[in-house]
Amino acid sequence: MLLGSTAAAAEASAWLHPDGRPKAAALQALALLEDAASHGLRPEDYAAGTLRPTLEQAARLGLAPPADARLAQALDASMQRYLSDLGDGRVDPRRLQQDFAPARREPFNAAALLQAALSTGTPADAARQAAPTVPQYQQLRQTLATYRALADHPAWQSPLPPLPTAPSLPVVAGLKLSKARAAPPKLSPAQAYAGLAMLASRLQALGDLPPDVPVPAVYDGPLVDALRAFQRRHGLADDGVIGAATRAALQVPPAARARQIELALERLRWTPLLQGPRMVVINIPEFVLRAYEVVDGRPLVRQQMKVIVGKALDTRTPLFDEDMQTIEFSPYWNVPPSIARGETVPRLRRDPGYFEREGFEFVAPGGQVLTSLTPERIDALRAGQLRIRQRPGPKNALGDIKFVFPNLQHIFLHHTPAVSLFARDRRDFSHGCIRVEQPVALASFVLQGQNDGATWPDERIRQAMAQGHSTTLKLSAPVPVLIAYGTALVKAGRIHFFNDLYGQDRLLDEALHQPRPSLPAPD
């Protein structure tokens, strides 16, 4: 910037009076930057620590050119970075192998937003417009403050004492008793435990146990009820028993939970939200699907159900957003080539009867359907010269309905005949596609108002699912589907935490710790 230029004067005038003293907008900008931590951001990323002394000096003595222009330039740069981080997030999600980016009709322009706020409003107006408007964002910010306040709480100054050890269990080998096997330590209701006072203190600090409940002589009563509430909030079976998993969750310090919340806030800043009047969102670590309807700008949950997602070890469900365009009733299951080679071919060679029992058939490149099994066709399948599919029916791996949103990874939503798996607390069992617990409810939500208002009562949906031959229904209004990843979520006013199933929190944390380019110095 050239000293004395019209641009320099205009820039300075937005932040400083003619005598070089800061305007209210400059002081408000400093307050916003210093409060960046309330959004899970770092004030040092916006040079808040160096801006303060310069602004204090300017308030006392005023600044003469060119110092006034340097301060104005620094305020501009800091605020633009801050607004950009609020609006788009600090990290480009594609760096984490995400396939979605913030959904905006126009590119986010932090400079234009700041200029408009300075001319007609205040920097705080720009910050409010940049940050996510969904209620979850503000709820997480409030919870972040709560967990930060617990960082030095005495209940976490030392670890919980070891859990009681149960009597050893003998193991029968043939007719002999082998060496006794120690049962895993755990705390069950009505047991004595040296850590009851510390346990009660932690549960009270977290809001699961009322503050006026006395510490019992044994683990019982309200303390067990509070532990069950804690387990529900941490994705654990709420059996009231403290085993290894529950003890590990109790040991996590509030500062680590605060970091989880910060990561959740960052994801909300670059996650596509409120893309249309209705939307389907799957949260992978929670194993839950929610169907939202936007009413007066607020997302309301219309359906919620359990889901089964890709195995954490080797077949993770990818994260992306696409539009659901069709529903297939009584679908074929076209076995992916990787599954065909790695699983289906070996199974057919071991057990040829598996082909007929499961309703498989081969499909030639020209579309010819081959319904008999031969060694030559197995070899052709292995070589990629044939493909294999499973006919519609009760054994079909996709169940009786498939929700399709075209994507490069060939991921879709579907029902499943293996419904017992929905009773598990941890539900990563699939090859990557997502199995839904209540397909009729999801179909009813998706089909609402579609295709010139055609009505789809539940009975009609069930009949289409059970018809035994495959049909495809194209949606007249595609429904956005977001496969997201959040390990901290406020539900019914309480914070819930989930395990970092795919290690995405670790990757995001590492990305957020990468150094950033320096901002212009204010003096």
Higher pLDDT among residues 72 and 454, named by residue: 72
- Given this model, what pLDDT does residue 108 score? 85
**Cα-Cα end-to-end distance for the chain:** 14
Mean local confidence (pLDDT), 52-72: 95
Residues 453, 346 share a domain: yes
**Which range, of 194-203, 448-457, 506-515, averages the lowest pLDDT?**
448-457
pLDDT tens digits along 346-392: 999 999 999 999 999 999 998 999 999 999 999 999 999 999 999 99
Answer with the one of 131, 151, 182 that is the final residue of a domain: 131
CB 116 within 8 A of CB 83: no
Q: pLDDT band at residue 1, thresholds of 50, 70 and 90?
A: very low
* 204, part of any domain: yes
* 523, part of any domain: no
- Given this model, what pLDDT does residue 296 score? 85
Write the CATH number for 294.
2.40.440.10
Catalytic residue among 39, 234, 415, 433: 433
Residues 77, 167 share a domain: no
Decide if 469 is catalytic. Answer: no
Residues 59, 175 share a domain: no
Residues 242, 372 share a domain: no
Quote the domain boundaries for residue 497: 274-507
Residues 65, 20 share a domain: yes
Burial bucket for residue 208 (CB in 10 Å: 0-12, 13-18, 19+): buried
Burial bucket for residue 387 (CB in 10 Å: 0-12, 13-18, 19+): middle
Residues 372, 296 share a domain: yes
Residues 318, 202 share a domain: no
- Given this model, what pLDDT does residue 379 score? 94
Does the pLDDT at position 3 exceed 50? no
The total number of structural domains that make up the chain: 3
- Percent over 90 (pLDDT), the chain: 80
Pairs from 91-95 (Cβ < 8 Å, separation ≥ 24): 91/266, 91/270, 91/508, 91/511, 91/512, 92/270, 93/270, 95/511
Catalytic residue among 39, 234, 414, 415: 414
Q: pLDDT band at residue 341, thresholds of 50, 70 and 90?
A: very high
DSSP 237-266: --SS-B-HHHHHHHHS-HHHHHHHHHHHHH
Does the pLDDT at position 275 exceed 80? no
**Which range, of 36-50, 58-72, 84-98, 163-177, averages the lowest pLDDT?**
163-177
Mean local confidence (pLDDT), 162-172: 70
User: Which distant-in-sequence residues (6+ apart) come within 8 Å of 323 by Cβ?
Assistant: 405, 478, 479, 480, 481
pLDDT tens digits along 397-444: 999 999 999 888 889 999 999 999 999 999 999 999 999 999 999 999
- Given this model, what pLDDT does residue 443 score? 97
Residues 242, 375 share a domain: no
- Given this model, what pLDDT does residue 523 score? 80
- Percent over 70 (pLDDT), the chain: 92
Residues 357, 215 share a domain: no
Answer with the one of 221, 252, 283 that is the final residue of a domain: 252
Residues 419, 288 share a domain: yes
Does the pLDDT at position 239 exceed 50? yes
- Given this model, what pLDDT does residue 169 score? 54
* 300, part of any domain: yes
Q: pLDDT band at residue 344, thresholds of 50, 70 and 90?
A: very high
Write the CATH number for 218.
1.10.101.10
The answer to whether the predicted template modeling score (pTM) of the entire model surpasses 0.85 is: yes
Query: Using CA atoms, how far apart are residues 26 and 76, in angstroms rounded to an integer?
Result: 10
Does the pLDDT at position 104 exceed 60? no
Residues 101, 51 share a domain: yes
pLDDT tens digits along 43-60: 999 999 999 999 999 999
* 444, part of any domain: yes
Q: What mean pLDDT, rounded, does the chain reach?
A: 91
Q: Which residues of 328-343 are buried (b: 16+ CB within 10 A; e: fewer)?
A: bbbbbbebbeebbeee
pLDDT tens digits along 462-476: 999 999 899 999 999
Residue 339, SS3 per DSSP: helix
Mean local confidence (pLDDT), 133-137: 92
Residue 362, SS3 per DSSP: strand
- Given this model, what pLDDT does residue 320 score? 84
* 279, part of any domain: yes
Tokens of 355: 């082909």
To the nearest 10°, report the CA torsion of 509, 511, 512, 518: 160
Instruction: Give the CA angle between residues 273, 310, 498 to the nearest 5°.
Output: 60
Mean local confidence (pLDDT), 35-47: 97
Higher pLDDT among residues 108 and 428, named by residue: 428
* 261, part of any domain: no
pLDDT tens digits along 188-198: 999 999 999 99
Length of the chain equals 523
* 267, part of any domain: no
* 152, part of any domain: no
Decide if 234 is catalytic. Answer: no
What distance lies between CA 142 and its chain's CA centroid?
Answer: 18
- Given this model, what pLDDT does residue 173 score? 53
Residues 295, 240 share a domain: no
